[in-house]
Structure formats: C-alpha cells, structure tokens
Amino acid sequence: MFDLFINTYIKLFFLLTPFFVISTFLSMTSGMASRQRCRIAVRTVGAVIVFSLILYLFGNSIFGVMGITLDAFRVGAGALLFLSAVALVKGGSEQRAPGEDEDISVVPLAMPVTVGPGTTGTLLVLGADVHRNFGGDIRSQAVAVGALLAAVLSVGALLYVAARAQRLLPPRIMSVLTKLTGLVLASLAAELIFTGIRELLQASAV
C-alpha cells in the first residue's frame, strides 16, 4: 500500500505541473497584496480538489457510459499530455492580468492552468487503472485518493508559500523547474501511449 501511495503521489504531483502553476499564479496576481494572494491560493486548491476527485473517482463509470475502452482513452490522454509537456519545455504563454473584481481562482487557475486537458485525461485513466487493478478493494481506493489529496495539498502549500514569498522564487529558477516538470510529464505521456497501444494490439490479436 505504501508503494501505491508513493507511486500515485509522485505521478499526480508532477501531473498538476506545480512550478508552471506557481509561475502563472505569480504573474496573474502581480500587484496584489499578500493576503489577497493567499485567499486566491486557498480557493484555487479547493476547486482543484473538487475537479480532481470527480475525474479520478468516476473515470471508470465515464468510460462505461461513453463506450470507450480504457486503452483507447489512454492513448488519447497520453497524446494530450505530451503536447502539454512540450508546451512546458518550450515555455508557457504569458497570462493576462485579471481585472480588479475578477475571480481567477477557479477559472483559469484551477482549470485549465492546473487541471488542463492532458491532466484531465490522465486523471481519468489513473483512476480507472486503480479501479481495474484493485477492483472493489476499499483500502486501495482510499490510499489512491489519499495520494491524490496529498499531491493537491502539496501544490497548494507551494502556492501559499509563493503568495507570501515571491522574492524567494526568481523567474529563472521557476523557468528551469517548469521545464523539468515538462520532461517528467513527457515520460508519463510516453508510458500512457505505449501501454495503451500494447494493450490494444494484444486485444486485437485475441
């Protein structure tokens, strides 16, 4: 169970692209007071938790309703995640500053900055994988959900610290960390794509 927790936590932590999220957060909240930034960070984390739990827990049901096989969706999600990884390595686009009364915590910070298209598809696949591999084992499901919450809260803690200590995060360091995150995501995307293709080929050969 500990291996399941650690493996799931690491995958989901990098899947949420924390360093890109932080750089975008700092860019979009420049000029705001530290207290206001902290409130936005807390609301963003709350929204990410809701979105992620829905995608992670109900992925298997969504596949069943839509009539899509897990492996076909795995290939599609991997392709989207790879495009997201390439965008991170090349450098994300500049975000516009919000209006004075505009709430940016849910849109765009929670979705699509933190939970983007590639992240959405991968969360569905990872959640369905846990369900398929461990079936109705409530303990395994609880461990996986705990890892998901731990990953989101870790990103939230980084956001909260960044809101209070922007001077400790030079843009050059954030750029390097964002590119490293992109490389990790590219590896995860390749694993999803190759696993999906292998399973589809094996199914067609039967």
Percent pLDDT > 90 in the chain is: 40
| Model confidence pLDDT, tens digit, residues 70-79 | 888 889 989 9
Which phi-psi region, left, alpha or beta, contains residue 99 (left: φ > 0; alpha: ψ -120 to 50)? beta
| In the predicted structure, residue 34 carries a pLDDT above the cut 80 | yes
Mean pLDDT, the chain, as a whole number?
86
Is the model's pLDDT at 100 over the cut of 70?
no
Which amino acid belongs to residue 81? Answer: L
pLDDT in tens, 156-197: 999 999 887 766 777 788 788 888 888 989 999 999 999 999
Q: Which position has the token pair 């209070």?
A: 164
Per-residue pLDDT, 145: 94
Look at 92 and 144; give whichever has higher pLDDT: 144
Give the total residue count for the chain.
206
pLDDT > 80? residue 119 = yes
More confident residue, 100 or 127: 127
* In contact, 12 and 151? CB cutoff 8 Å: yes
Is residue 40 scored above 70 in pLDDT?
yes
pLDDT > 70 in the chain, percent: 91
CA torsion, points 141, 144, 149, 155, in degrees to nearest 10? Answer: -160
Q: Give me the DSSP letters along 74-131.
A: HHHHHHHHHHHHHHHHH-PPPPPPPPTT---IIIIIIIIIIS-HHHHHHHHHHHHHHH
| Tokens matching residue 73 | 């969706």
Whole-angstrom distance, CA of residue 183 vs CA of residue 187: 6
